[in-house]
């Protein structure tokens, strides 16, 4: 039986996302048990930040300011939406401020209720854009550029972080290793692309936190190991060949994914979830998607993975997360909704 989001009501939500380097908006309609994405517009800033090898906050804010009205007009045919959901943290403060200010203005202008949404909750709720029969408690492996977390979700908007990164998140490690390999930004897709032609067993690399009994993650050591590996291969007088580059990428990707899967396996054994979800930008990685499916099949556990279109930052996931927050009684005021660049998952859900 399909899980119903609402009993008989129908709601249209405008989702706004500007936490990093995408200006994104979507209009999502939730009608009974169905989630219908009416529009999902993303204006990427990759070309702007690629020359710097990462996101520059002030440039990101400037791009958001230039693009946000155009994105809104493309996403919305009119102002018939019933609720505004906007990312108010975590993220880059200058970027968050542009989205929240715009959302507050629209809420005031059109007299709409407004809800601030945790960006990480948005990623988790991206799983509801393509399926709606998730069983609780659910274990979420959330892997993104700035966060690597294992989250138990006991019900809608009930989150408990049971494992998190102690230093670099897995997405940051992908970006940094890509720079070592002279690949373009963002590093995740670049590494995934060339790793297809590499041997994942070519070079032994240490699996992060393998001997730790806890559920936390760490990728700084793996990143350093790759740096020394490249130096040992090339010495001081040459660069990596294409085949060596592909082998290093494949070896790094294998170990990074293995660490995610091994910690997830331990979390399943300890917490006995009824379903497993994958979310965040790194969930677009082909190897990770394959391995999480294998884990689910091995343990006879239902697996949910968002469509590729919803793995990156987007307004649709914010709209759905905002809907569930609003239905549980959370509502902010347009005049006082503030950003929190260091917002921790679940801390903005007090009704």
Least confident of 59-63, 181-185, 293-297: 59-63
Q: Is 139 helix (H, G, I), strand (E, B) or coil?
A: strand
Nearest to 322 by CA among 4, 33, 12, 8: 12
* Across 177-204, average pLDDT: 94
- ω into 186 cis (within 30 of 0): yes
pLDDT at 262 (0 to 100): 96
| DSSP-assigned beta bridge partners for residue 139 | 152, 276
Kindly list the strands in the beta sheet with 138-143, ordered across the sheet, starting from the edge strand earlier in the chain: 158-164, 148-155, 138-143, 275-279, 303-304
DSSP H/E element including 50:
helix 46-50
CATH topology of domain 138-305: Nucleotidyltransferase; domain 5 (3.30.420)
pLDDT at 209 (0 to 100): 86
**Taking 60 as the threshold, does the pLDDT of residue 8 lie above it?**
no
Reported as a single tens digit per residue, the pLDDT across 222-278 is 999 999 999 999 987 889 999 999 999 999 999 999 999 999 999 999 999 999 999
- Residue whose token pair is 């977390």: 149
Beta strands in the chain (DSSP E): 10-17, 22-31, 34-44, 83-89, 114-118, 138-143, 148-155, 158-164, 275-279, 303-304
199's tokens: 């041997």
* Across 170-192, average pLDDT: 93
Residue-wise DSSP of 173-195: HHHHHHHHTTPPSSHHHHHHHHH
pLDDT at 212 (0 to 100): 85
Helix ranges restricted to H, 76-118:
93-110
Q: For the chain, what are the domain ranges?
A: 10-129+310-327, 138-305
Summary mean pLDDT of the chain:
92
Q: Are 82 and 295 in contact (CB under 8 A)?
A: no
pLDDT at 130 (0 to 100): 87
Least confident of 51-65, 82-96, 117-131, 189-203: 51-65
Same fold, 10-129+310-327 and 138-305: yes
pLDDT bin (cut points 50, 70, 90) of residue 350 is: low
For the domain 10-129+310-327, what is the CATH superfamily, name and number? ATPase, nucleotide binding domain (3.30.420.40)
pLDDT at 145 (0 to 100): 84
pLDDT at 351 (0 to 100): 47
Contacting residues for 306 by C-beta, under 8 A, at least 6 apart: 126, 127, 129, 130, 278, 279, 283, 317
pTM value?
A: 0.93
Least confident of 54-58, 189-193, 259-263: 54-58
pLDDT at 132 (0 to 100): 79
* Across 90-119, average pLDDT: 97
pLDDT at 3 (0 to 100): 32
pLDDT at 46 (0 to 100): 74
Reported as a single tens digit per residue, the pLDDT across 127-176 is 999 887 789 999 999 998 889 999 999 999 999 999 999 998 999 999 99
Give the number of other Cβ atoms within 10 Å of residue 329's Cβ.
10
- Residue whose token pair is 């921790």: 344
């Amino acid at each position: 039986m399909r899980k119903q989001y609402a009993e008989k009501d129908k709601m249209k939500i405008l989702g706004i996302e500007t936490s990093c380097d995408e200006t994104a908006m979507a209009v999502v309609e939730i009608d009974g048990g169905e989630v219908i994405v009416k529009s999902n517009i993303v204006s990427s800033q990759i070309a702007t930040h690629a020359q710097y090898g990462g996101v520059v906050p002030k440039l990101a804010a400037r791009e958001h300011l230039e693009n946000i009205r155009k994105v809104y007009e493309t996403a919305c045919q009119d102002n018939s939406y019933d609720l505004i959901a906007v990312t108010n943290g975590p993220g880059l403060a200058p970027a968050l401020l542009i989205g929240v200010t715009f959302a507050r203005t629209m809420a005031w202008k059109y007299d709409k209720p407004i809800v601030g949404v945790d960006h990480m909750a948005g990623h988790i709720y991206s799983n509801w854009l393509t399926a709606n029969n998730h069983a609780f408690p659910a274990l979420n492996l959330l892997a993104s550029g700035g966060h690597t977390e294992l989250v138990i979700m006991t019900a809608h908007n009930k989150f408990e972080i049971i494992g998190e990164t102690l230093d670099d998140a897995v997405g940051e490690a992908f970006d940094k290793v890509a720079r070592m390999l002279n690949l373009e930004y963002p590093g995740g897709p670049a590494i995934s692309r060339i790793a297809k032609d590499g041997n994942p067993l070519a070079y032994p690399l240490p699996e992060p936190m393998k001997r730790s009994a806890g559920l936390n993650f760490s990728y700084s050591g793996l990143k350093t190991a790759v740096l020394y590996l490249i130096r040992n291969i090339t010495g001081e007088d040459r660069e990596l060949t294409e085949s060596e580059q592909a082998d290093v990428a494949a070896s790094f990707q294998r170990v990074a994914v293995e660490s995610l899967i091994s910690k997830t396996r331990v979390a399943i054994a300890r917490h006995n979830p009824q379903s497993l979800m994958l979310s965040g930008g790194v969930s677009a990685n082909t190897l990770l998607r394959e391995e999480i499916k294998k884990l689910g099949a091995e343990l006879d556990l239902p697996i949910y993975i968002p469509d590729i279109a919803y793995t990156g930052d987007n307004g649709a996931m914010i709209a759905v997360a905002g809907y569930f927050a609003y239905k549980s009684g959370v509502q902010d005021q347009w005049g006082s909704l503030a950003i929190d660049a260091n917002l921790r998952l679940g801390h903005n859900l007090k009704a």
